[in-house]
């Protein structure tokens, strides 16, 4: 990869699930010399804001510069506007193109390798590879890799080998299975590094984007083996190395980044980005549903079996909810999702419901049954809508974890305020982040009721913190230490500005002033920003 005659090359490394606390601690302790060097030569900061209300859609916002309030993608199963039906969605449904789409038809060459939530785009000079070494959704069909040009796939298979698939969550996995997964993670990191070096050595690229997902995968799969985790013992740590497995994975990624950086011209502008960290948290799906139902925001149907119900749904409704939940745990995930979708639609009296929960795993989503937006909405827009949200937030703040005696909810995001958009046609009205706990929070008290949830099959012990990390260095980057907090939406315009390409959607002045040294192309971009 060589320098462009007009602008320095730009390289963006994604460190998916890279915890900012882990990165800073281990860089300071000497375990991550490549990351430490980037931070020392350039600057680093925190990525935050309402765009990080959910893991799904965050990379889409960053790469496209398009807010969630426009693309509407927040979970892999969402409420279909104008209905009470849930449907599976992906980033492709959001129709928000990554910033490199602006390079189509031009002379600049790109190398895009496993960019999260980004599809292959026609009309780009260079190469693209998708779904080679990525984190696939649990219990869903594996999406095969694809490339542009298509011949790239056979070339990679011939020189690197076939793609390696790793289960991010394996219910009731044994120690030996987890140790094998750990070794496989390290192998995939090494192969991904070799793949990227081979690709970048083949041509001159003005832009390279690649992501390592293994920090994310390892944290979920090996979370309980770290010091303080439920499966950690000194003896096991010494024999297997799993006690330091997560740090080992970060080190392996750091080593591959170092090898890649040695291959790049000195004039390269380099960004290393993570959007989420990790924390203790089990699923909370049952808690938010119990909250909405027991506090009478979401009113159950009266048991009348409507004629359109299928036989399977009729059988389900004759089984007690607690027994039904236990049976569901042993069913394939896709069946569970189908049953949950049917139950969501058919077991609520929508004509009397004020607000309802949209099924999710860890972050909870609450939607008001708003007149004019929902098919049988009963809450009036305006003051009634605002008063209801105030009431729901007040009730959420009163929830107490029975086991610890502390508040159960960390924070609540009101999307209309956070995105300054009013009641949204797609997004939930409230996003609820629960307190981190190293145990399954099965009972939560409210002054009026006690909420109980049954342990689900998908019962992994880790989830994400909603704050990211960025480090950058290069001829256009300030050597300024800590650059503070930036928004995911700031990056796409800055990246295009560094490549001397206009971007029409958003001013870049804030991030430019914080991170960019002598921004030669700011005037052109800002003048065209909307």
pLDDT of residue 99: 96
User: What is the number of alpha carbons within 13 Å of residue 48 lying toward its C-beta?
Assistant: 8
Task: Quickly count: other Cβ atoms within 10 Å of residue 375's Cβ.
Answer: 11
CA distance 152 to 377: 51
Residue 131, phi-psi category: left (phi > 0), alpha (psi -120 to 50), beta (remainder)? left
CA distances to 309, 347, 427, 523 from 343, rounded to whole Å, are 10, 5, 21, 54
**DSSP letter (8 states) at residue 329:** T
Output the DSSP codes for 211-276.
EE-HHHHHHHHHGGGSTTSTT--HHHHHHHSGGGHHHHHHHHHHHHHHHHHHHS-TT-EEEEEE--
Q: Say how far residue 91 (Cα) sits from the centre of its chain.
A: 11
Please name every residue paired with 432 in a beta bridge, in sequence order, or none if there are none. Answer: 364, 412
pLDDT digits (tens, 9 = 90+) for 383-416: 999 999 999 999 999 999 999 999 999 999 999 9
| Overall average pLDDT of the 342-351 stretch | 89
Please name every residue paired with 300 in a beta bridge, in sequence order, or none if there are none. Answer: 348
CA distance 431 to 451: 19
Q: What length is written for the chain?
A: 530
pLDDT at 493 over 50: yes
Domain 10-278+464-528 has CATH 3.30.413.10: no
Q: To 5 degrees, how large is the angle CA 321–CA 324–CA 330?
A: 150
Helices 33-41 and 20-28: crossing angle, nearest 10°?
Answer: 90
pLDDT of residue 521: 43
pLDDT at 509 over 50: yes
Task: Return the higher-pLDDT residue of 201 and 337.
Answer: 201
Which range has the worst mean pLDDT, 210-219, 294-303, 394-403?
294-303
Task: Return the higher-pLDDT residue of 514 and 12.
Answer: 12
Please name every residue paired with 130 in a beta bridge, in sequence order, or none if there are none. Answer: 146
CA distance 72 to 68: 5
Which range has the worst mean pLDDT, 31-40, 233-242, 515-524?
515-524
pLDDT averaged over every residue in the chain: 87
- N- to C-terminal Cα distance for the chain? 34
Name the phi and psi angles at 410, rounded to 5.
Answer: -80, -50
Close Cβ partners of 383 (under 8 Å, ≥ 6 residues apart): none
Burial class (CB in 10 A: 0-12, 13-18, 19+), 144: exposed
pTM assigned to the model? 0.89
Task: Quickly count: other Cβ atoms within 10 Å of residue 121's Cβ.
Answer: 16
Q: Domain limits of the chain?
A: 10-278+464-528, 285-300+348-462
| Overall average pLDDT of the 215-222 stretch | 94
Q: To 5 degrees, how large is the angle CA 501–CA 506–CA 511?
A: 85
Task: Quickly count: other Cβ atoms within 10 Å of residue 372's Cβ.
Answer: 9
* Residue 172's pLDDT band (cuts 50, 70, 90): confident
Task: Return the higher-pLDDT residue of 517 and 79.
Answer: 79
Contact 470, 418 (CB under 8 A): no
Name the phi and psi angles at 41, rounded to 5.
Answer: -75, -30
CA distances to 48, 96, 176, 414, 453 from 381, rounded to whole Å, are 30, 29, 56, 15, 32
* Residue 27's pLDDT band (cuts 50, 70, 90): very high
* Residue 135's pLDDT band (cuts 50, 70, 90): confident
- List the one residue out of 492, 523, 475 whose CA is nearest residue 103: 492
Strand ranges in 275-376 using DSSP code E only, listed in sequence order? 279-280, 355-358, 364-368
- With a pLDDT cut of 90, the percent of the chain lying above it is 69
CA distance 441 to 455: 9
Task: Quickly count: other Cβ atoms within 10 Å of residue 310's Cβ.
Answer: 10
pLDDT of residue 3: 44
Residue 133, phi-psi category: left (phi > 0), alpha (psi -120 to 50), beta (remainder)? beta
pLDDT digits (tens, 9 = 90+) for 428-479: 999 999 999 999 999 999 999 999 999 887 788 999 999 999 999 999 998 8
Contact 13, 254 (CB under 8 A): no
């Amino acid at each position: 990869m060589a320098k462009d005659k007009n602008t320095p090359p730009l390289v963006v490394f994604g460190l998916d699930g890279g915890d900012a606390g882990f990165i800073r601690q281990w860089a300071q302790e000497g375990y991550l010399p490549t990351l430490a060097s980037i931070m020392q030569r350039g600057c680093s900061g925190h990525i935050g804001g309402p765009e990080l209300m959910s893991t799904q859609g965050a990379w889409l916002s960053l790469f496209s510069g398009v807010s969630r309030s426009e693309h509407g993608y927040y979970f892999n199963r969402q409420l279909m506007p104008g209905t009470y039906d849930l449907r599976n969605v992906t980033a492709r449904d959001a129709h928000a193109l990554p910033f490199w789409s602006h390079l189509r038809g031009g002379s600049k060459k790109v190398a895009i390798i496993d960019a999260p939530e980004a599809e292959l785009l026609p009309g780009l000079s260079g190469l693209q590879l998708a779904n080679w070494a990525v984190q696939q959704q649990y219990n869903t069909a594996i999406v095969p890799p694809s490339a542009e040009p298509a011949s790239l796939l056979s070339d990679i298979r011939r020189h690197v080998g076939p793609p390696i698939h790793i289960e991010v969550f394996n219910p009731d996995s044994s120690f030996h299975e987890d140790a094998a997964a750990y070794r496989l993670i390290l192998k995939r990191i090494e192969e991904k590094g070799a793949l990227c070096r081979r690709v970048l050595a083949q041509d001159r690229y003005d832009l390279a984007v690649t992501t390592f997902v293994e920090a994310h995968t390892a944290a979920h799969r090996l979370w309980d083996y770290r010091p303080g985790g439920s499966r950690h013992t000194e003896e096991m740590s010494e024999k297997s190395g799993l006690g330091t497995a997560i740090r080992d994975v970060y080190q392996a990624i750091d080593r591959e980044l170092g090898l890649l950086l040695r291959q790049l011209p000195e004039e390269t502008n380099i960004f290393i980005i993570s959007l989420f960290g990790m924390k203790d948290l089990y699923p909370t799906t049952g808690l938010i549903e119990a909250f909405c139902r027991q506090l009478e925001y979401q009113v159950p149907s009266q048991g009348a079996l409507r004629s359109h119900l299928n036989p399977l749904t009729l059988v389900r409704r004759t089984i007690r909810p607690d027994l039904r939940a236990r049976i569901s745990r042993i069913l394939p995930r896709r069946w569970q999702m189908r049953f949950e979708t049917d139950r969501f639609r058919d077991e609520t009296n929508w004509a009397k419901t004020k607000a309802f929960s949209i099924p999710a795993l860890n972050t909870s989503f609450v939607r008001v049954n708003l007149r004019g937006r929902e098919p049988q909405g009963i809450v009036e827009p305006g003051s009634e809508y605002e008063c209801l949200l105030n009431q729901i937030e007040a009730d959420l703040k009163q929830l107490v974890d029975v086991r610890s005696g502390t508040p159960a909810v960390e924070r609540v995001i009101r999307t209309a305020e956070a995105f300054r958009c009013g009641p949204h046609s797609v997004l939930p009205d409230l996003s609820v982040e629960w307190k981190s706990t190293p145990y399954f929070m099965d009972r939560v008290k409210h002054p009026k009721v006690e909420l109980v949830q049954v342990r689900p099959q998908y019962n992994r012990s880790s989830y994400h913190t909603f704050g990211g990390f960025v480090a950058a260095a290069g001829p256009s980057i300030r050597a300024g230490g800590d650059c503070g907090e930036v928004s995911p939406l700031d990056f796409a315009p800055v990246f295009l500005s560094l490549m001397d390409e206009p971007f029409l959607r958003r001013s870049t002045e804030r991030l430019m002033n914080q991170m960019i040294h002598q921004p030669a192309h700011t005037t052109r971009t800002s003048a065209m920003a909307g």
